[in-house]
Amino acid sequence: MALIDPGKKAPAFSLKDQEGKTQKLADYAGRPVILYFYPKDDTPGCTKEACAFRDNLPRFKTSKAAVLGVSILDEESKAKFAQKYALGFPLLADPDHAVAEKYGVWQEKSNYGRKYMGIARTTYLIGPDGKVQRRWDKVKVDKHAEEVIAALG
């Protein structure tokens, strides 16, 4: 599926987090949601991105925004990752990449000439009305959390 453009309704989802608790997009109705898709738990870029969101949580909380990270690794992997870096927000397991596909971030990637399917680092800002307000494609980890905070206004 294609990426979701700003102005369109964000697709509903229901995924388990690092504590085995089911998280649904509907649970966050009426407040902004930062839904960020990342390739893999505990890898350099993904760790840097997660820690930047963690370090800025107080700033996200002032706008009542929820931060949710999504990758295809299982809840156990998410639990280790969250514990290792004290990540105080839900990390959602999308092992069959169904949600990544709904959001258009399950894409063909290439590494050293080898082609494979994986998550393209993408962030969605979903408004309190459930519509996509902004999308960042091919996210550069440095300063990304700050860009998201600026977009929240």
Q: Which of 46, 99, 126, 148 is catalytic?
A: 46
CA dist 132 → 32, 74, 126, 127 (Å): 10, 26, 4, 6
Nearest-CA neighbor of 145 among 118, 120, 125?
125
Burial class (CB in 10 A: 0-12, 13-18, 19+), 20: exposed
51 tagged catalytic: no
Bridge partners, 138 (sequence order): none
Residues designated as active site: 46
